[in-house]
Amino acid sequence: MTENKKVEVLDTNRMPWQVCPTSTDKKVFGQKQLIQDPDIGMESALYEYPAGFTTYMHTHPCGHGHFILEGQMKVNQSYYGPGTFIWYPEGCVAEHGATAFEHAKVLMFSNKPFKVNYCKDEADRQSREKGIEPILVDTNRMEWFYRMASTSGKLFGKKALHQDKDTGMEINLMRYPAGFTTERHAHPCSQGFYIIQGQFHSDQMIYGPGTMLWYPEGCIAEHGATAYEDCVCIQFSNKPQKMLYERPEYQK
């Protein structure tokens, strides 16, 4: 590990919402664009759907996922609450938004550049559908899989949400226990963290909920929780992950 790149920090609490109209009926929803990866074109954004907002039936030339942070999300004719992760494979036809009673706030990830193709009529919808359905993960019902850090032997929790067969990108829910910090390391991929609960400790800095950190490929860092509370965050990468530790005996 000879090169170190700077981590990008986004405080989404301070970012203004970009008001976006849908291209079909001009209803509006809020968006905060977070990451646009130059290597594979993957994107990440925050969406806020106001109560009663639903998109028109559409599909995408990419796979993408929604992690529900607040409220309830309506997908086709079903409803899902916070902690649900929904992956829409490429070509999946869906409509989604909020219920009639409250807004929904979701974190979005795509595996390629993001674009919307609307289904204008029933024949078009049928031609696009091809029986591809959303893949649902209820993280509230999943057990934590505890892994041991290979250098320190300390344990941290992980719930694997998606590993993309096309790009190798990974999306995981992570729990770092109070006092846990990794050793300094890098990855042969870029990766991001979105903080959900607690405080995230990285290179002598502390970040709270709503912060996103993006570590470019080759960025050397350490991260984990503070000494006082656990930290829960979404971790995602643009390629398959591998740990490259700064200590010479681990640089293999």
Instruction: Return the domain boundaries, the chain.
Output: 16-138, 145-250
Write down the mean pLDDT value for the chain. Answer: 89
Q: Which has the higher per-residue pLDDT, 129 or 231?
A: 231
Distance between CA 216 and CA 59 in Å, rounded? 30
Within this chain, domains 16-138 and 145-250 share the same CATH topology: yes
pLDDT in tens, 39-71: 889 999 999 999 999 988 888 899 999 999 999
Give the architecture-level CATH label for domain 16-138.
Sandwich (2.60)
What is the pLDDT, as a whole number, of residue 168? Answer: 92
Q: Which of 184, 220, 173 is nearest to 7 (CA)?
A: 220
What φ, ψ does residue 190 adopt, rounded to 5°?
A: -90, 150
190 touches 237 (CB < 8 A): yes
* Percent of the chain with pLDDT strictly greater than 70: 89
2 touches 129 (CB < 8 A): no
pLDDT in tens, 157-196: 999 999 999 899 999 999 999 999 888 888 889 999 999 9
What is the pLDDT, as a whole number, of residue 22? Answer: 73
If one counts every other C-beta atom within 10 angstroms of the C-beta of residue 14, the result is 8
Q: Which CATH number fits domain 145-250: 3.40.630.10, 2.60.120.10, 3.20.20.140, 1.10.3720.10?
A: 2.60.120.10
> What pTM was estimated for this model as a whole?
0.90
Distance between CA 165 and CA 87 in Å, rounded? 13
pLDDT in tens, 127-159: 555 678 999 999 999 999 998 765 567 789 999
